[in-house]
Amino acid sequence: MKTKQSGVTLIGFLVILLIVGFFGFMAMKLVPAYTEYAGAVKAMDGIASSSTNGKSLGEIRSELLRKMSFQYVDDATVKPTDITITRDNGGGSSLNVSYDKDIPFIYNIDFLLHFQKSVRLQGNVNE
């Protein structure tokens, strides 16, 4: 009596391993950028939860950059020019951070990630 073998051949296993390795390498390159963004969001939420009455844009920027350094956000990633404050029609203010991150991948292929976050500030901000 003949039995039929079932399973993955060696070539099939190598193809699966190649695909899993490719996506693993991609994740290894991209995950640190997203954890850095999560640190930036956490620092922004810390600024938003504290009072900003009477603080200037420069003071808020320096406090945000200090909090971001505690969250392991690289100084070269978020520059002071990436941090802006906009006023709403109702008199409130929003803290906006918008930056791009270029991650080299393979040979001449890069990932360009754009991160943008806006949080509402408590209190009045001086200009």
Work out the burial of residue 122: count CB atoms within 10 Å of its CB; fewer than 13 is exposed, 13-18 middle, 19 or more buried: middle
Span 111-124, pLDDT tens digits: 999 999 999 888 77
Span 50-97, pLDDT tens digits: 877 778 888 888 889 999 999 888 888 888 899 888 887 777 788 899
pLDDT band at 1 (very low <50, low <70, confident <90, very high): low
Q: Please give the model's pTM, rounded to 2 decimal places.
A: 0.81
Helix 10-49 with 57-70: angle, nearest 10 deg: 140
Span 12-47, pLDDT tens digits: 999 999 999 999 999 999 999 999 999 999 999 998
